Amino acid sequence: MRSDSVTKGVQQAPHRSLFKALGFTMEEMERPLIGIVSSQNDIVPGHMNLDKVVEAVKIGVAMAGGTPIVFPAIAVCDGIAMGHMGMKYSLVTRELIADSTEAMAMAHAFDGLVMVPNCDKNVPGLLMAAARVNIPTIFVSGGPMMAGKMGDKRTCLSDMFEAVGAYNAGKITLDEVEEYENKACPTCGSCSGMYTANSMNCLTEALGMGLRGNGTIPAVYSERIRLAKHAGMKIMELLEKDIKPRDIMNNEAFLNALTVDMALGCSTNSMLHLPAIANEAGVHLSPDIANEISAKTPNLCHLAPAGSTFIEDLDEAGGVYAVMNELNKKGLLKTDLITCTGKTVAENIKGCINKNHEIIRPIENPYSQSGGIAILKGNLAPDTCVVKRSAVAPEMMEHSGPARVFDCEEDAIEAINAGKIVSGDVVVIRYEGPKGGPGMREMLNPTSAIMGRGLGSSVALITDGRFSGATRGASIGHVSPEAAVGGNIALVEEGDIIKININNNTIDFMVSNEELEKRRAAWKPRQPRITTGYLARYAAMVTSGNRGAVLEVK
């Protein structure tokens, strides 16, 4: 065992003395040491209950003969960080989480790990760490929030953000905003729609790194505690069988995850995180493969923000495994892959029936024949950009309109709230990419303001930043190359006609090559917005959105 290097032999007597200072007995030191990575804190609603999940994991580990040892991971609440300087620090925490977990796992010679994340960057950050450290590892999340209720209507965080836009447009009163405020987020847990946190938690099941229900069992259910105990027990089986993350997360597993992503209609952020996780596992996952998978993968779910159903409904309908079983009817998954259950995908999903054909459409009757995410290319995004196709109004699948250009999110918000954006416009927000932001801020405030003003079916938004999983509408992000490195989005001028065709996966602005070259010759790089601290180091090392915004030593 790896832990022998800190617990066995005369040379390790000093190490054992420190374990004894912690209160460990010799009996505990003779068992496998299992690190439990707890993302619990008191600022993220999805993480406030993780202490209970961690305690359950500890019980499971001990029941199965291991010694559980807890250490922390940080977490940012994207909702609280939204729309101000704090959002620059959201995506960048993914790398901090991966790096710090690697440091703790390697420094203390753990034999296995149980990851206990929940919200947006913790799941991918810990998956990156799992692939990098590559010792037996399993995931158990804190679970999704229950939907809120306003009268007969269920509601969620995306409704809350759109309510602010509706108020600014004079469509609802301040009292109605306050009612949303009191009812949109009624329990602990990751926000209740198919936003980034729930997307990534569901994809842990598709990847094979989380047990059945990990992505969907509500945070407030006691079933979540039982799941955590089973995860604690299961890590000991993985250790015994020597099943490691890279045995599970191979190329075919990532293709499975992308396929499930398309069927569920996950957050566009999955197109940042899956390539980054794959990179740590030694797998190249090009964003171009997404359209190939989308073309043959039906979209089976329209959970919020794409529709009016929630993660709790997906759980009742059979969860991720039921979706996978539907996909398997047409042979769309590789099913002989080993998973953290110790069994194959085929064995896991056998008999997992679809219990509600309104929540999970049968594969013979999908919402659409193609998947929920589309990758677009054109002279506006020569590398790629991404859109959540399943959350776009049908009339916006093809759109042409004049560019309204803003060099930061704040300027765009001011214009939208002042009524300066009108039907037909294409809002361009640039210099918000991984380097330019720095930190690639989410644009939930401007997209919600557009939806709240009733412009969701007539205005598109394009950015080299990214979008919250709560975003809906013709919101196109991750434009690569980004403006900060001289990508063509930096050359767009006010009034340029932009043509978007999501059905054909194209995005262009109607400017001749000669004019583009003239503008490129006149373009000058901007001075960095931030020159000190972690964000400055991040900006110096980060790659583009189409590569997952991973850090790279130049």
Burial of 358 (0-12, 13-18, 19+ CB in 10 A): exposed
Helices 444-452, 157-168: axis angle to 10 degrees equals 60
CA 541 to chain centre: 21
Q: Examine the residue annotation and report whether 190 is marked as an active-site residue of this protein.
A: no
| Cβ–Cβ < 8 Å for 120, 268 | no
Q: Is 298 left (phi over 0), alpha (psi -120 to 50) or beta?
A: beta
Give bridge partners of residue 525 from the DSSP assignment.
none
Helices (H), 64-121: 78-81, 93-107
Alpha carbon 5 to its chain centroid, in Å, reads 36
Name the residue among 435, 381, 432 with its Cα closest to residue 407.
432
DSSP string, 347-408: HHHTT-----TTTS--TTS-SBSS-S-EEEEETTEEEEEEE-GGGS-GGGSEEEEEEEEESS
Torsion sign (Cα): 289, 291, 292, 297: positive
* Catalytic position from the list 100, 190, 370, 468: 468
> Where are any strands of DSSP class E within 237-291?
none
Q: Which of 264, 322, 332 is nearest to 292 (CA)?
A: 332
| Alpha-carbon radius of gyration of the chain | 23
Asked if the bond preceding 14 is cis, omega within 30° of 0, the reply is no
**What's the DSSP call for residue 527?**
P
From 212, 333, 364, select the one nearest 262 (Cα to Cα): 333
Distance CA 127, CA 208 (A): 11
- For residue 216, give the nearest of 183, 176, 185, 189 by alpha carbon: 189
Residue 141 DSSP SS3:
coil
How far apart are alpha carbons 325 and 351 in whole angstroms? 8
Query: In this structure, which amino acid lies at residue 164?
Result: V
Helix (H, G, I), strand (E, B) or coil at 518: helix
Tell how strand 33-38 and strand 67-72 pair up. parallel
Lookup result for tokens 């040892």: 69
Query: Which has the closest alpha carbon to 542: 491, 492, 480, 488?
Result: 480
- As annotated, the active-site residues are 468
